[in-house]
């Protein structure tokens, strides 16, 4: 099975990027064809055999990764699956690629494999990095309804059928948008606790645009993908959850500003999921209201 890898970078972590690329090169089996996308930044020197693409401006995470997908041909069809890895991550085991190959080869309807993210110092996994509501045991593998953006592998047939990542999102929730579209087309998503990406423990709120983007894209996600009766229910639940977390006044103003922006700006093509998919998400433990 032919594997590619896409690494998105802002050019500000050259040492970490080098270590990641070395860990990809050490993988067992056929070499993983790797593309590094400089998202509005020049690239440092890359190892032989690694392709580099420098974008003149920062297109955001999903659009930048889409450029990497297209480097493998339309919808990435020159390879069978693509690994998406954060530039400050590291594959500690040399059999991660082989596990991905075996997973896809064993199940023709498996579309996305999402890895376990572990802190390189402690080995622990943050609860938010386990993509299910029952996240107390990060070592347990299971079918899930979304995936982790910088630690996953996607079968390229998923892009051909469900489309690529929503470039207009720029940052936040782009994985869930693709996951819902993939699930609606019959693909499965699996969280694998035994495939690990080491990644420093960092809060998502470190990004200046975090609160606005999270809120705006939450609204876009609902408008694009949910049956009409579920949209107010889904967003109402998330308003309540946000208030319950008691963010700072500044963060709350940014969040509600993004929420309004999500209603007042175009969200892209609307393709609501079927009620059958709603029931499928519910059976998987995460109904599309939370």
Give me the residue spans of the domains in the chain: 3-202, 205-283
Residue 15 in tokens = 């040492």
Contact status, residue 55 vs residue 47, Cβ threshold 8 Å: no
Taking alpha carbons only, the member of 17, 14, 8 closest to residue 59 is 8
pLDDT of residue 216: 98
Per-residue model confidence (pLDDT) at position 202: 79
- Torsion sign over Cα 263, 267, 269, 275: negative
**pTM for this model (two decimals):** 0.96
Fold of the domain built from segment(s) 3-202: Spore Coat Polysaccharide Biosynthesis Protein SpsA; Chain A (3.90.550)
Write down the pLDDT at residue 209. Answer: 85
Q: In angstroms, rounded to a whole number, what is the distance separating the alpha carbons of residues 203 and 118?
A: 14
Compute the distance between CA of residue 167 and CA of residue 18 in angstroms, rounded to an integer. Answer: 27
Q: Average pLDDT for consecutive 10-residue bins of the chain (290 residues)?
A: 97 96 98 98 96 97 98 98 98 98 98 98 95 95 97 98 98 97 98 98 72 97 98 97 94 95 97 98 95
Q: DSSP letters of 141-199? A: -EE-S---TTEEEEEHHHHHHH-S--GGG-SSSHHHHHHHHHHHTT-EEEEEEEEEEE-
pLDDT of residue 203: 75
The DSSP-derived string for 77-125 is TTSSEEEEEETT-B--STTHHHHHHHHHHH-TTEEEEEEEEE-TTT---
Measure the CA–CA gap between 58 and 252, rounded to whole angstroms.
26
Task: Label residues 165-200 b or e (16+ Cβ within 10 Å = b).
Answer: bbbbbbbbbbbbbbbbbbbbbebbbbbbbebbbbbe
CA distance 222 to 230: 8
């Amino acid at each position: 099975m032919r594997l590619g890898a896409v690494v998105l970078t802002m050019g500000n972590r050259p040492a970490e990027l080098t270590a990641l690329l070395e860990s990809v090169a050490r993988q067992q089996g056929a070499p993983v064809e790797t593309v590094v996308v400089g998202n509005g930044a020049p690239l440092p020197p890359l190892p032989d055999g690694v392709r580099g693409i420098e974008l003149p401006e920062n297109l955001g995470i999903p659009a930048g990764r889409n450029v990497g997908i297209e480097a493998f041909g339309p919808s990435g069809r020159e390879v069978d699956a693509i690994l998406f890895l954060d530039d400050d991550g590291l594959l500690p085991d040399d059999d991660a690629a082989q596990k991905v190959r075996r997973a896809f080869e064993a199940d023709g309807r498996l579309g996305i494999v999402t890895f376990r993210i572990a802190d390189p110092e402690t080995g622990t996994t943050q609860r938010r990095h386990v993509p299910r509501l029952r996240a107390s045991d990060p070592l347990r593998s299971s079918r899930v309804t979304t995936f982790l953006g910088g630690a996953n592998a996607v079968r390229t047939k998923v892009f051909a059928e469900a489309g690529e990542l929503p470039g207009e999102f720029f940052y936040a929730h782009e994985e869930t948008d693709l996951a819902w579209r993939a699930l609606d087309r019959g693909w499965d998503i699996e969280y694998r606790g035994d495939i690990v990406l080491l990644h420093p423990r960092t809060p998502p709120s470190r990004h200046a645009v975090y609160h606005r983007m999270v809120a705006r894209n939450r609204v876009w996600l609902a408008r694009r993908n949910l049956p009409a009766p579920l949209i107010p229910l889904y967003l109402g639940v998330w308003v309540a959850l946000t208030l319950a977390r008691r963010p700072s006044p500044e963060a709350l103003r940014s969040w509600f500003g993004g929420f309004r922006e999500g209603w007042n700006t175009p969200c892209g093509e609307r393709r609501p999921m079927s009620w059958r998919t709603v029931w499928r998400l519910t059976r998987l433990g995460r109904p599309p209201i939370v």
